[in-house]
Amino acid sequence: MISKAPRLPARLWQCRARGALLAMCLWLAGGVPAVAKTITSARFTEPTTRYAHGVLGDNVEYGALELTVQGGTLTIRLPSDRVFEDLAPRLADMDLDGKPEVIVVESHNRTGAQLAIYDSGGRKIAATPHIGTRFRWLAPIGAADLDSDGFVEIAYVDRPHLAKTLRIWRFKDGDLAEIATLPGLTNHKIGDDFITGGIRDCGTGPEMIVVSADWQQIVSIRHEKGWGTRTLSPFSRKAMKQVLTCTH
């Protein structure tokens, strides 16, 4: 079985999904040491059906990650017990040095998904713990300095079909530390070939945009003396597009 739409190379300021435009992700965040080459794009390669979860609408995932860097390409090939269970790699400046790393969802055949960060040399420099069970997934929201502390945070929804818990991790001193969890939120339905929502900035700082657990309301999460949620409007695809483009 082949994927319904090819997954595209990651580029700064862009997050494309499997054949859908609803997922609008703003990756504002990462770098590599000054002596390292700069990543200009990334893509998944070596499609495989060895991890037949099908959460993104088909049974095809990817066994390798190809980085385009100055002067050539680099391939990161996973062992047979892992896959990239994701839409597309994301470029994000995680340490704010002006050069991007790559953020991906990586899944293990016994312990499920984790969010991982790779540098321009192909090293996995940081990762969240695996969820703990096979066929359990997480859906990224985005990366930015979400609380104005001078460090980049990464946000995702842990098990968007089951736990429906938003988790926020701070990248600091080359490592990830979880700093907040918010229950009752989601950004993906089983079988969708896109992730709903993302991060927007309408002039007052970054906001995470997701959906209530029952898919009835569009919800904003931002940091103002703590993490707070705000209902923006009833959920629809049209309303979500307007919210993400700051026209609602």
Range in 5-19, 92-106, 178-192 with the lowest mean pLDDT: 5-19
Q: What is the pLDDT of residue 221?
A: 98
State pLDDT tens for residues 114-162. 999 999 999 999 999 999 999 999 999 999 999 999 999 999 999 999 9
Q: Distance between CA atoms of 26 and 29, rounded to whole angstroms?
A: 9
State pLDDT tens for residues 48-72. 999 999 999 999 999 999 999 988 9
Range in 6-10, 18-22, 109-113 with the lowest mean pLDDT: 18-22
State pLDDT tens for residues 41-54. 999 999 999 999 99
Q: For residue 218, is pLDDT > 50?
A: yes
Q: For residue 85, is pLDDT > 90?
A: yes
Q: What is the mean pLDDT of residues 30-40?
A: 61
Model confidence band, residue 36 (pLDDT cutoffs 50, 70, 90) = low
- One-letter amino acid for residue 10 of the chain: A
Dihedrals phi, psi of 113, to nearest 5 degrees: -85, 155
Q: Which residues pair with 68 in a beta bridge?
A: 41, 73
pLDDT, averaged across the chain: 88
DSSP the chain: ---SSPPPPBBTTB---SS-S-B---B------TTSPPEEEEEEEEEE-SS---TTSSS-EEEEEEEEETTEEEEEE--TTEEE-SS--EEE-TTSSS--EEEEEEEETTTEEEEEEE-TTS-EEEEPPP-SSTT--EEEEEEE-TTSSSSEEEEEEESTTTT-EEEEEEEETTEEEEEEEEESEE---TT-SS--BEEEESSS-EEEEEEETTS-EEEEEEESSSEEEEEEEE--HHHHHHHHTT--
Q: What is the pLDDT of residue 170?
A: 98
* Percent of the chain whose pLDDT exceeds 90: 83
Q: For residue 34, is pLDDT > 90?
A: no
